Structure 1
Amino acid sequence: MQPVVHLAVGYLCYAGYTRATRGTSPAELPALVAIFGAALPDLLDQSLAAAGVVEVTRTVGHSLLFAIPLVLAVWVVTRARGRELLGVAFAIGYLSHVATDVPWHVLSGDYHELGFLFWPITPMPEYSGVKTLGAVAGVEVTTLWLEAVILVGGVALWWHDGRPGLEPIRRVIGRIRS
């Protein structure tokens, strides 16, 4: 999945959670934390690959062996500080990222590319990229088509919800400019 689509998925999942549990759209800071959590696996792994530490872009950040302890640690710290909702938002964002990297490999039959789930115990080959899912009326349908729909849906909901998470970023930028 394209990195920007993970941000939309993280927001969609967190927005669904807040609607189901609180009957409201997401608040500013938890929405931002969910989006950050959704971005983090790629930020970690692509940085490590760019630095030459690992050979592929899905290793540490995408591994459940790292993700689960990290999510639990964030939850414990946020709970101890009375900010448990931020831990929940982070968990939803981070785990939505890992979970949504799985279906494309399953649908395309590239099961060997699921090695990232338990890396370094299981090997992770280089990601083969966009997957072909079939054809509709002679037009090849790829994962990018579905990702585009998810991205548009996520941005539309975020916009409808008042763009939560944007205001804290604006405040930080305002302080930097001052």
Structure 2
Amino acid sequence: MALAVASLVPDLVDKPLSWGLGWFPSGYAIGHSAFVAIPVGLGVLLFGSRLDRLWVSVAFVVGYWTHLLGDVLNPIRYGNSILVGRVLWPVSAAEPYEIDRGLGRGLAYLEDFVAELVTMPITDVVLLYLLLPAATIALWIFDGAPGVTLLSRAVGTVRSRLR
């Protein structure tokens, strides 16, 4: 659960601040910055070890840092060079968007993704978008579905307080 949530943290921070509030000229800023991610990751590891939850904190750091690595390496898929500057905010700010679409940028990216998905070989689609998530879910279930009990307790607490 920590890995899954942490892998979204950079986008959950930067995209709303850029697309929704216009605070940054692109979706790569404070949440994607190695200058923020490294101390945050080290702090999470320290905090997790003190609470005897080291594996949860390691999962968080792996999720957060691999998101940044993926953003740096992603251009290779299209035959371009890696973009180390994406994780060096504020020293190296990402190029601003040519067109400000606000929150509609997310819909534009979804449209681009679906168009790319349609043109991909079916084996790639099955492997990347069906088998990999299915294997991940199977591993999560095999591991005892961590997080379900916590979520169930939280829902029960909210329900009891609302009554």
TM above 0.5: yes
Q: C-alpha separation between the residues in 2 aligned to 1:35 and 1:68? A: 18
**Correspondence for 1:157 among 135, 138, 146:** 135
Q: Is the contact between residue 25 and residue 97 of structure 2 (CA under 8 Å) also seen in structure 1? A: no
CA offsets, 1:85-108, max 9 Å, x none? 121111111112111122221332
CA offsets, 1:58-91, max 9 Å, x none? 1111121111111001111111222111211111
Q: Which moved more, 1:100-109 or 1:76-85?
A: 100-109
Q: Is the contact between residue 37 and residue 65 of structure 2 (CA under 8 Å) also seen in structure 1? A: yes
Q: Is the contact between residue 72 and residue 86 of structure 2 (CA under 8 Å) also seen in structure 1? A: no
Matched, 1:48 2:27: no
Which structure shows the bigger proportion of residues in strand conformation?
1
CA offsets, 1:19-54, max 9 Å, x none? xxxxxxxxxxxxx11111111111111121122221
- Specify whether residues 140 and 154 from structure 1 end up closer, same or farther in structure 2 by C-alpha distance, changes over 3 A only: closer
Q: C-alpha separation between the residues in 2 aligned to 1:33 and 1:108? A: 30
Q: C-alpha separation between the residues in 1 aligned to 2:126 and 2:97? A: 20
1:14-29 superposed matches below 5 A:
none
Q: How far 1:156 moved relative to its partner?
A: 0.7
Q: C-alpha separation between the residues in 2 aligned to 1:78 and 1:55? A: 34
**Correspondence for 2:7 among 38, 54, 60:** 38
| Structure label with greater radius of gyration | 2
- Specify whether residues 78 and 147 from structure 1 end up closer, same or farther in structure 2 by C-alpha distance, changes over 3 A only: farther
Matched, 1:62 2:44: no
CA offsets, 1:118-153, max 9 Å, x none? 11111201479669xxxxxxx9549xx968743434
Q: C-alpha separation between the residues in 2 aligned to 1:122 and 1:98? A: 15
How many residues are matched?
139
Quote the residue 1:74 is aligned against.
44
Q: Is the contact between residue 73 and residue 82 of structure 2 (CA under 8 Å) also seen in structure 1? A: no
- Specify whether residues 62 and 169 from structure 1 end up closer, same or farther in structure 2 by C-alpha distance, changes over 3 A only: same
Q: How far 1:170 moved relative to its partner?
A: 3.1
Quote the residue 1:170 is aligned against.
152
Give 5+ residue unaligned stretches, structure 1.
1-31, 132-138
Give 5+ residue unaligned stretches, structure 2.
99-108
Letter in 2 for 1:174: G
Two-structure CA RMSD over aligned residues (Å)? 3.1
Q: Is the contact between residue 41 and residue 61 of structure 1 (CA under 8 Å) also seen in structure 2? A: yes
Matched, 1:104 2:82: no
Q: Is the contact between residue 35 and residue 88 of structure 2 (CA under 8 Å) also seen in structure 1? A: yes
The sequence identity of aligned pairs, in percent, is 26
Q: Is the contact between residue 7 and residue 66 of structure 2 (CA under 8 Å) also seen in structure 1? A: yes
